[in-house]
Chains A and B, each alone.
Chain A
Amino acid sequence: MTTANEKLARLISEAADGKDTPQPGHDLWRGIEHSISRSGRRRGRWLNWAWASAACAVLAVGLVTFNSMQSSPGTATPQSELLLTVLNQQHEQQRQMLLSHYQTVGWDGKSGYVQQELEQIRASIHEVSEQLIEEPNNRQLWQLLQWLYSKELELLESQFKVNEQLQQV
């Protein structure tokens, strides 16, 4: 009886101390650690591949661009014409992004209060771009083109803001 009581007391005490927690047969942490590091290495390897591929792509695009610029000075796509095309494309992208952003917040783009000026600016961008093909070294014309880009975006933006404010009234 005493032995049984002692055994029971020991079991209760061990349970209270947490000694009855089942222990793994071997140290699992080493395995977990190894697994984590292996997964990290795998991800690292994948990232390395991605970076390498991206670098190759950039290098390839760079080489192609460089070659095309080297091989065609003064022909169909001279450097200035290429720059002009890139600038016009960039501006068009910004313009479309601005318009689609406003459309997502519920504006249909129909507000005619500066429509005439916007059309004038669009025509001027075209006109100045054409002239820059003839006069690629005219720094003032490049500045004028940059200003026309920013003016168009500014007007589009103001058109939306005004529309919003006037709707209040």
Chain B
Amino acid sequence: MKKLMNLLFSVSVAAVLYAAPTAAFAAQESVDKRLDVPANVVVTIENMRGEVEIIGTEETYAQVRGKLDEYATGMTFELADNNLTIRVEMPARGNFSGNHGSELEIHLPSSAELNISGVSSDFVVRDFSSDVQLNTVSGDIHAHSLRGKLNLTSVSGDIQSEKLTGRVTLKSVSGDIDDRDGAGSNASYSSTSGDIDVRTSVSDISAESVSGDVMLDLQSVSNLRLKSVSGDVKATLALTRNGRISANSVSGDVELLFSGAVDANLEANVSGGGSIVNDVNDARVEESKWGVGANLETRLGSGSGTIELTTMSGDIILRKK
């Protein structure tokens, strides 16, 4: 009898141990909800952990499908006037160390305006023609074919984007930013330690970094503002007739590679130990008589534009493509 009791006890323990992870996984609630929404709907999406894909469609409804976070207590899916809220509800406190975050696919009218936030949640957003505001802390952002006022921010996650049009602002602290085939009025990129890599036809660009490197492959630029502390900055571009370039760096190098003729008054100044390399014309770089610092002032073409470059100890390199 005692042996039987021990056996039963062992079997029960084994069953509980085996079932525990499965129970946690099984606790992910499945959702499939749909609501008719107006075309000018403003959508707020909140998801703490997991992966959320948000897709713009030609339909007039909003649909959420997938699984909720294993710790979620439910999901709010409500329309009030033209405001739609999609929120994965989580307990106010808790240790959310499990591996099963939300896995959601959200379909919305492509004209919807989006306000998206998460903590460790990754987001994929594609095919929208209105404003998008997206903030996540450690999640990655993938944005594709968006048009409007776009503000995408991640703290430690990477931002990858393609075909963004309008007023684009991409911001990261330690994550990298990679933006391809952008168009529109202006674009602004900011990173602290992550690298910035951009290929765009936007003509008004600003990029700044503390220690990350900045690489810009640009077309016809009317206004370019670059700032860096220790990261290197390299830009390939053509400057418009009255275009303006301003680049300031502390110890990072600044390299400009011009395609086509340049019409601008150029002033480059290195205060500390860096040097200036001028391969754009024959103007001589003036070295400081104390051996520290260098200066270049020259007129390129008709001199209609302005180029002002300053570094403390980084090199300034000017080349033609």
Residues of A within 8 A of B (CB): 113-114, 116-117, 120-121, 124, 127-128, 131, 134-135, 138, 140-141, 143-144, 147-148, 151, 155, 158, 162, 165-166, 168-169
The residue among B48, B210, B309 with the most chain A CB atoms within 10 A of its own CB is: B210
For the complex with contacts A114-B174, A144-B312, A151-B210, 5 further pairs of A-B residues with Cβ separation under 8 Å are A124-B229, A128-B250, A141-B310, A144-B248, A155-B173
Does B147 reach chain A (CB closer than 8 Å)? Answer: no
Q: By the criterion CB–CB under 8 Å, are A144 and B310 in contact?
A: yes
Q: A121-B229, A128-B250, A131-B312 are in contact. Are A162 and B137 (CB under 8 A)?
A: yes
Does B193 reach chain A (CB closer than 8 Å)? Answer: yes
CB interface residues, B 160-211, toward A, < 8 Å? 173-174, 192-193, 208, 210-211
Does B246 reach chain A (CB closer than 8 Å)? Answer: yes
Given the complex, which residues of A lie within 8 Å of B29, measured CB to CB? none
Q: By the criterion CB–CB under 8 Å, are A135 and B271 in contact?
A: yes
Q: Which of B96, B208, B211 contacts A147, CB < 8 Å?
A: B208
A64 → chain B closest CB, angstroms: 33
Given the complex, which residues of B lie within 8 Å of A168, measured CB to CB? 48, 119
Q: By the criterion CB–CB under 8 Å, are B310 and A155 in contact?
A: no
Does B272 reach chain A (CB closer than 8 Å)? Answer: yes
Given the complex, which residues of A lie within 8 Å of B49, measured CB to CB? 169
CB interface residues, B 96-113, toward A, < 8 Å? 96
Q: By the criterion CB–CB under 8 Å, are A117 and B211 in contact?
A: yes
Given the complex, which residues of B lie within 8 Å of A141, measured CB to CB? 248, 271, 310
The residue among B48, B174, B250, B309 with the most chain A CB atoms within 10 A of its own CB is: B250
Q: By the criterion CB–CB under 8 Å, are B210 and A121 in contact?
A: yes
Q: Is the interface of B mostly helix, strand, loop or mixed?
A: loop
Q: Is the interface of A mostly helix, strand, loop or mixed?
A: helix
Nearest CB in chain A to that of B95: its residue: A169
Q: By the criterion CB–CB under 8 Å, are B48 and A114 in contact?
A: no
Given the complex, which residues of A lie within 8 Å of B211, measured CB to CB? 116-117, 120
Q: A147-B208, A147-B227, A162-B155 are in contact. Are A113 and B120 (CB under 8 A)?
A: no
Does B230 reach chain A (CB closer than 8 Å)? Answer: yes
Taken together as a complex, chains A and B put the C-alpha atoms of A114 and B210 apart, in Å, by 10
B13 → chain A closest CB, angstroms: 32
Does B53 reach chain A (CB closer than 8 Å)? Answer: no
Q: By the criterion CB–CB under 8 Å, are B192 and A166 in contact?
A: no
Q: By the criterion CB–CB under 8 Å, are B312 and A127 in contact?
A: yes
Q: A138-B271, A166-B137, A169-B96 are in contact. Are A128 and B312 (CB under 8 A)?
A: yes
Closest 3 CB pairs of A and B: A140-B310, A144-B248, A124-B250
Taken together as a complex, chains A and B put the C-alpha atoms of A116 and B271 apart, in Å, by 24
**What total of chain B residues lie within 8 Å of the partner, measured CB to CB?**
31
Given the complex, which residues of A lie within 8 Å of B227, measured CB to CB? 144, 147
Does B308 reach chain A (CB closer than 8 Å)? Answer: yes
Given the complex, which residues of A lie within 8 Å of B120, measured CB to CB? 169
Given the complex, which residues of B lie within 8 Å of A166, measured CB to CB? 119, 137-138
Given the complex, which residues of B lie within 8 Å of A169, measured CB to CB? 48-49, 96, 119-120
Q: Which of A114, A120, A127, A165 contacts B137, CB < 8 Å?
A: A165
Given the complex, which residues of B lie within 8 Å of A162, measured CB to CB? 137, 155, 173
Q: By the criterion CB–CB under 8 Å, are A113 and B250 in contact?
A: no
A115 → chain B closest CB, angstroms: 11
Taken together as a complex, chains A and B put the C-alpha atoms of A129 and B49 apart, in Å, by 44
Q: Which of B173, B230, B246 contacts A140, CB < 8 Å?
A: B246
Given the complex, which residues of A lie within 8 Å of B208, measured CB to CB? 147, 151
Given the complex, which residues of A lie within 8 Å of B155, measured CB to CB? 158, 162
B93 → chain A closest CB, angstroms: 9
Q: By the criterion CB–CB under 8 Å, are A114 and B250 in contact?
A: no
Taken together as a complex, chains A and B put the C-alpha atoms of A120 and B231 apart, in Å, by 11
Given the complex, which residues of B lie within 8 Å of A155, measured CB to CB? 173, 192, 210
Q: By the criterion CB–CB under 8 Å, are A127 and B192 in contact?
A: no
Taken together as a complex, chains A and B put the C-alpha atoms of A38 and B248 apart, in Å, by 63
Q: By the criterion CB–CB under 8 Å, are B96 and A138 in contact?
A: no
CB interface residues, B 114-170, toward A, < 8 Å? 119-120, 137-138, 155-156
Taken together as a complex, chains A and B put the C-alpha atoms of A3 and B119 apart, in Å, by 94
Q: Which of A113, A120, A134, A165 contacts B229, CB < 8 Å?
A: A120
